[in-house]
Structure 1
Amino acid sequence: MLVPLAALAAVLVGCAPDGGADAAPREASATASSPAPPPASAPTPTPDGTLLVADFGSDTVTFVDPRRGATGSVEVGTAPYGLAVGDDGRAWVATAEGVAVVDTRTRARLALIPYETESGPVTTGEYRGGGMGIALSPDGRRAYVGVNVPGGNGTVEVIDTTSREVTATVDVGRRPFDVDVARDGSEVYVTDHDSFDVTVVRADTLDPRRIEVAPYGTEGGLGSWLKPHYAVVRPSDGRLLLPFEGERLVVVDPRTGRSEIAPMTANTHQHGATITPDGTLLVVGTGPIDPSEDAGPSLTVRAPDGTERVHPLDGPHEDVTVSKDGRTAYVTGGFTRDGYWDGITVVDLTTGETHRLAAGERPLGIAVL
């Protein structure tokens, strides 16, 4: 996910074998046009620079002042995962029930769009079905959401953001952790965790093709920890960058399917990633697979020339975004396995200083408004 510049030890989100103990099923609470209850009082104005986090441990998104902490929440649907915010101030939130549309200015849910894909009963937990990664087209006319189908291949659903309807469904790989879009909107990239691949979907024809991304091989299958999680689109050339284990950065040309591998230095399992317009890559290290050999949680800041600074973090984290001025990173602590915590680590990218900020319930996805 591209953010403006001036704009997870072996406990790992979704890295264990496919399966696991989810919470008891819950009945879906809303339909495509069901609005949230009206607020009891006038909504709090939402200043620029406010953070929005998806509360995977609840059914809300939370607004966070980056200095003071949470300032309010909006109910969106069960176990929200990823989110994307458009230029119009509307947030599109992938929940277990459907995609919620939130007006971040009035702090109200406008709709909950149910999935066309049958993903089983609505549950919570690491292996729940429903939406995971989500992204918007550059013109804001389409939202693309990866839908997890427990025990099988997932889909990416295409939503018309004007009509708020699902207009197409495309088959992809297993557990679509992340969704990204080419800078010109011509292609959609779905990172399929449990099938070791990225599915490239043409935006015009919706034809999919698979690119294997497995720098450690696929031995162990669903039981392997060494899978792709998140990708970013490099601004300079449109290539995909996928970090693995704080050791290898896989650079994929989505046009040819060919990849190269560059070394990384954090030596820790890695998940969330973002990139700034100048090509600075930020990657969340979640902690070690083998504590006797691997380093702890961290945030890697990798310059376009490949040099890296590694900032240690206290405990597992999941995703990251950057302030509009490029000086501060915000790293979510809402790990879906043991070790999660309810907040954000704020990282000063100049000094490396960090502090924790209470925010939400198991916050995963994050954006700067």
Structure 2
Amino acid sequence: MNGHSSFGGRIETEGSAQRLFLGLAATALLVLGVTGTGAATAAADTVTKTIPLGADPVRVAVSADGSEVYVTTSDDNAVSVIDAATYSVSGTVPVADGAAGVAVSEDGTRAYVTTRNDSVAVIDTDTNGVTDTVEVGTRPYGVAVTPDGEQVYVANIDDDSVSVIRTSDNTVTNIDIVDGGPIDVAVNPEGTRVYVVNEHDDSVSVIDTATNAVMHTVRVGDSPKGVVVTPDGSRAYVTNFDDDTVSVINTSDNTVTEIGEVGDGPLEVAITPDGTRVYVTAFNDDAVSVIDTVTNTVAEFLEEVGDGPEGVAIDPDGSRAYVANNNDATVSVIDIDHGKCTGSLCFGS
């Protein structure tokens, strides 16, 4: 398996911010765990199911009640709907060419899917039918819905913009991003800030949702791809594909620290509802890294997932993570263990 084959693509970038690497801390904790002398503990997660899908699964989102999982399958121009109770595909929703990003509103009534034909498909989750197709910017990818469900933010890679969809009537306004290649977006829990990852310029733009203006630009690692905000809004975690790190932004002052050794080619990222663990897909390692948010070190490295893991999402109760494996067209289901294992760290094999 070589390189990143999905819709977003691997983009070479130049320059990076000064970083604080925490890889040595992770190594020290591992030694303590192996010897049994460390006080820290970590949960041991397990891949329990592998679900076959259509060609080229990219992104994942879970319904508000956790009963359904939505997976975009780019080459099939569709969204696969997985029944979380039976781990089987219960339906397929056709959309326009090249389904990419997907997000579900907090009330669970709508799913929003970005497509290669510069549009967003609006899916009624009750019927799993497309109710509207909204034109946005060029090559949309990442998508996020505000907590109140009133606005949807879409990152448009090729025209350096973010489209904002007003959900009451699906009208669109566009925000120009100074930095290039916006690929992913995340909204903080209060709905006041949007974090936009710019893969061409190694940065994150911070948007004020009241004015839809860019407030800050934060420098991160090399070729950033994914972003997630903690449930308390205090930090944003950003994957950096080309230097195999995760940047952690302190949202109060936009300072950055960096977590190293998260695997080869970190792509997408998700966080548990309690904010204790961050899950990072390592595309070139066929693995998922699990970060302990208290220490900001890698606590687990799960190698049981499929070929080319890309999208990742966690269900609302924090019991399962779903990973879209791009190269072998499957979804891995990870049971999240909230118990503690002996020693310091538990690594999958």
Q: TM-score, normalised by structure 1?
A: 0.68
Query: How far, CA to CA, are the matches of 2:191 and 2:62 in structure 1?
Result: 24
Q: What SS does the corresponding residue of 2:101 show, helix, strand or coil?
A: strand
| Structure 1 equivalent of residue 128 of structure 2 | 164
- 1:325 Cα shift? 3.3
Deviation at 1:257, TM superposition (A): 3.5
In 2, distance between residues paired with 1:255 and 1:349?
29
Cα distance 1:351–1:258, how it changes in 2: closer, same or farther (>3 A)? closer
- Say whether residues 1:349 and 2:318 are aligned partners: no
Determine the C-alpha separation between the residues in 2 that align with 1:78 and 1:188.
Answer: 27
Does residue 80 of structure 2 align to residue 108 of structure 1? Answer: no
- Which is strand-richer, 1 or 2? 2
Aligned to 2:223: 269
Going from structure 1 to structure 2, the CA distance change for 1:350 and 1:106 (only over 3 Å counts) comes to same
Match of residue 238 from structure 1: 192
Higher mean alpha-carbon deviation, 253-262 vs 97-106, is at 253-262
Instruction: Kindly indicate whether residue 59 of structure 2 is the aligned counterpart of residue 76 of structure 1.
Output: no
1:229 to 180, 183, 191: 183
What amino acid maps onto 2:186 in structure 1?
V
Give the equivalent residue in structure 2 for 1:50.
none
Distance in 2 between residues matched to 1:319 and 1:269, nearest whole Å: 12
Is the CA contact 1:271–1:286 (under 8 Å) kept in the aligned structure 2? yes
Shift of 1:363: 1.2
% identical aligned pairs: 29
CA distance in 2, matches of 1:326, 1:271: 20
Aligned residues of 2:147 and 2:191 also touching (Cα < 8 A):
no
Give the aligned residue type for 1:84.
A
Which among 309, 314, 323 is matched to residue 368 of structure 1? 314
Instruction: Report the count of equivalent residues.
Output: 272
Farther-moved stretch of structure 1 (180-189 vs 300-309): 300-309
* SS of aligned partner of 2:93: strand
Q: Choose which of 258, 264, 267 in structure 2 pairs with 1:310.
A: 258
Pairwise mapping of residues 86-97 of structure 1 onto structure 2 (< 5 A)?
86=63, 87-96=65-74, 97=76
Q: 1:352 to 1:257 in 2, by over 3 A?
A: closer
Aligned to 2:112: 144
In structure 2, relative to structure 1, the CA distance for the partners of 1:139 and 1:237 (3 Å cut) is closer
- Structure 1 runs (4+) deviating above 4 angstroms are 10-13
Asked if the contact 1:248/1:261 (under 8 Å) is kept, the reply is no
Q: Distance in 2 between matches of 1:90 and 1:69?
A: 20
Distance 1:140 1:247, change over 3 A: same
Mark the runs of 5 or more structure 1 residues left unpaired by the alignment: 1-9, 18-65, 120-129, 216-225, 288-295, 335-339
Q: Which amino acid aligns with 2:9?
A: G
The answer for the alignment partner of 2:239 in structure 1 is: 284
RMSD: 2.3
SS at match of 2:307: coil
Alpha-carbon contact 2:11-2:223 (below 8 Å) kept: no
- What whole-Å deviation, never above 9, does each CA across 1:328-363 have from its counterpart, x for those lacking one? 2211012xxxxx231111222233432421112211
Provide the C-alpha distance between the structure 2 equivalents of 1:11 and 1:214, rounded to a whole number of angstroms.
26
Residue deviations 1:252-309 (CA, integer Å, cap 9, x gap): 2345332122433x4422110001221121111112xxxxxxxx22112223323433
Evaluate the alpha carbon distance shift between residue 300 and residue 164 of structure 1 in structure 2; reply closer, same or farther with a 3 A threshold.
Answer: same
Shift in CA distance, 16/299, structure 1 to aligned 2, threshold 3 Å:
closer
Q: What are the within-5 Å matches in structure 2 for residues 1-369 of structure 1?
A: 13-16=8-11, 67-86=44-63, 87-96=65-74, 97=76, 98-115=78-95, 117=96, 119=97, 130-149=98-117, 154-215=118-179, 226-244=180-198, 248-264=203-219, 266-279=220-233, 280-287=235-242, 296-305=243-252, 306-313=254-261, 314-334=263-283, 340-354=284-298, 355-358=300-303, 359-369=305-315
Cα gap change, 1:230 to 1:76, in 2 (>3 Å): same
In the aligned structure 2, how far is the partner of 1:256 from the partner of 1:14? 31
When normalised by structure 2's length, the TM-score is 0.72
Q: Which amino acid aligns with 2:270?
A: T
Distance 1:68 1:15, change over 3 A: closer
Tell me how far apart the structure 2 counterparts of residues 114 and 247 of structure 1 sit (CA, whole Å). Answer: 34
Structure 2 Cα separation of the partners of residues 311 and 196 of structure 1: 27
